Chains A and B, each alone.
Chain A
Amino acid sequence: METSKRQFLKGCGALIAGISVYTVTKSPLAENANTDASQTEVKYAMVHDENACIGCNACVEACRETNHVPDGVTRVKIERTGPFGNYPNQSYRFNRVSCQHCEAAPCVRVCPTGAAYIDKDTGIVAVNSDRCVGCQYCIAACPYQVRFINPETRTADKCDFCQQTQLSKGLQPACVLACPTQALTFGNLKDPDSALVKLLKTKPTYRAKVDLGTRPKLFHIQTIDGEVML
């Protein structure tokens, strides 16, 4: 009895150690999706030129209409800071807040049911509404705070680059088409001739919170005017 008990406990310990090592080597899921996706032809990304943006919110309205986003929630926000300087030389800064379509997406990593996933063909971070149970773990895990519960479907929702509504018809995302100043550039990172890649190679850009290791695909061209801030 004594030996079998010890053997059993040893076995349990080994099993648990094995399982934990296995999960560690497997994580993060997004990394795996990425290695697969690196062979695909398409990886969508977006650039927001904060110099061109005038904060008119046409993108927000176009998104709401196209994707039937209910009032009170939104997939995209233009955050305004300022004004900087004295009248009449005043300026604002505009910052697009929406899903960053991270290569290593924290929302995908924490989702217990796999409802949050990275589309392997396009690199788009999307939500499978049928699997979502509304635990809101993804909303808490997203460091960019762009996820929300859609009050109509009661599931997690966010920008998916208009995957279903526009891209499937061969159109650019609604916000890109609506922008009156062409501040938004959408395209394929894998295509060297795309307007997106050309823009990224001519202008310096930044991405938000890269130190978290999320590898976001929403690029920003920083505002030049305005105040020096520490």
Chain B
Amino acid sequence: MSAFHFEGLVWHWPIAIYLFLAGLSAGAVFFAIMLKHFKLASEAYHSPFVQAAAIIAPLAVFGGLGILVIDLTKPLDFWKILVFYNTTSVMSMGVLVLMAYQVALFAWIGCIFHQGLTRLLDGRFGAIGRLSTRFIQMLVRQEAAITGILVILSISLGAYTGFLLSALIGFPLLNNPVLPLLFLISGLSSGAAATLLGGVLLRGNPNGIEVRFIHGIEIPMILVEIGLLFTFFAGLILSGGQSQVAALNALGYGFWGWIFWGGVIGIGLTLPLAFNLWMKVSADRKFTYVAVTASFSLIGVFLLRNFILYTGQMTGV
């Protein structure tokens, strides 16, 4: 059986990229909000890390949606998903969440960077400029509500990427209640990593409070992720039958076994955890350290999405 082509395979790697990017966008926004709320307050707008998140989050969600649309057999008919809804369909509800998420995301970005935006619009673009300024001021007044909604939507989006797959009752590895949680947590950690990587690339201080704050959350999150992965596979193996076959098939020898143990567990979880624990004691964080740790996390989450998507479709009930 080839790793990327086998009987019963319906969804290919573009779906894995889409799931990865949607989770990453949700995670980046989540951490940007946390940074502002707990550390930066009104200083948030000139933090390179918040700026990075504000760039990454919309790009990732647009990129993901673009890939999703291109992957349809009738890409030009994608508008039908936006017009027709089915309340029992996870995909349909996910599209609703995605739409609301994007609106809230831009409203929030407008709030955070309102000073810069207002200065940019000041005296330019005539009536449209004045209207936009009024609109931004209105958004700023509602910032608390927008932030609250965006937190809920970003968590929903992260979990949705898992629910999308766990609704497939024919595949025991995917039809698993732990999967949405696993995807939510790994999506948040990929968002954190993307924020860190983007932040240091935008000349952010690799030893700054933002990095310390995110790294402080990262260790518990990696531990939770390892726990969820363990529960995920232990649960499948203890269920017996095809669930056990699916789990052992995925974790055993072969291409995907290597991806899991080497990529997801090794590069994605163990090395960042080791780096983080080691950095706790020694003090100064350097650019390479932050960039490498974040890249490893991102690679791990990306491989996890592909691993689950492909191995999940290998074993049916």
Partner of A111 from B72, B86, B149 at Cβ < 8 Å: B86
Most-contacted residue by chain B among A28, A132, A214 (CB, 10 A): A132
Given contacts A12-B148, A12-B152, A154-B73, contact A133 B170 (CB under 8 A): no
Nearest CB in chain A: distance from B273 CB, A: 33
Q: Which of B40-48, B54-62, B76-84, B232-240 contacts A (4 or more CB under 8 A)?
A: B76-84
Partner of A114 from B86, B90, B169, B316 at Cβ < 8 Å: B86
A143 at the interface (CB under 8 A from B): yes
Nearest CB in chain A: distance from B67 CB, A: 13
Smallest Cβ-Cβ distance to A140: which chain B residue: B10
Q: Which residues of B contact A106 (CB under 8 A)?
A: 169-170
Interface members, chain A 127-145 (any B CB < 8 Å):
131-137, 139-145
Main secondary structure of the interface of B (DSSP, over half): loop
A194 at the interface (CB under 8 A from B): no
Partner of B87 from A9, A27, A132, A155 at Cβ < 8 Å: A27
Nearest CB in chain B: distance from A121 CB, A: 20
A78 at the interface (CB under 8 A from B): no
Nearest CB in chain A: distance from B263 CB, A: 24
Q: Are A112 and B148 touching (Cβ within 8 A)?
A: no
B214 at the interface (CB under 8 A from A): no
Q: Are A113 and B87 touching (Cβ within 8 A)?
A: no
Q: Which residues of B contact A154 (CB under 8 A)?
A: 73-74
Q: Which residues of B contact A137 (CB under 8 A)?
A: 89, 91
Nearest CB in chain A: distance from B114 CB, A: 17
B275 at the interface (CB under 8 A from A): no
Smallest Cβ-Cβ distance to A147: which chain B residue: B10
Nearest CB in chain A: distance from B11 CB, A: 6
Q: Are A141 and B144 touching (Cβ within 8 A)?
A: no
Smallest Cβ-Cβ distance to A141: which chain B residue: B168
Given contacts A112-B95, A133-B80, A134-B72, contact A140 B313 (CB under 8 A): yes
Q: Which A residues contact B (CB, under 8 angstroms)?
A: 1, 5, 8-9, 12, 16, 23, 26-29, 106, 108-114, 131-137, 139-145, 149, 154-155, 209, 212, 214
Q: Given A112-B81, A136-B10, A140-B170, 20 more contacts at CB 8 Å?
A: A5-B148, A12-B149, A12-B152, A27-B87, A29-B86, A106-B170, A108-B88, A109-B167, A110-B89, A136-B11, A136-B73, A140-B10, A140-B168, A140-B313, A141-B168, A143-B317, A145-B316, A154-B74, A212-B169, A214-B169
Q: Which B residues contact A (CB, under 8 angstroms)?
A: 8, 10-11, 72-74, 77-78, 80-81, 83-93, 95, 144-145, 148-149, 152, 167-171, 313, 316-317
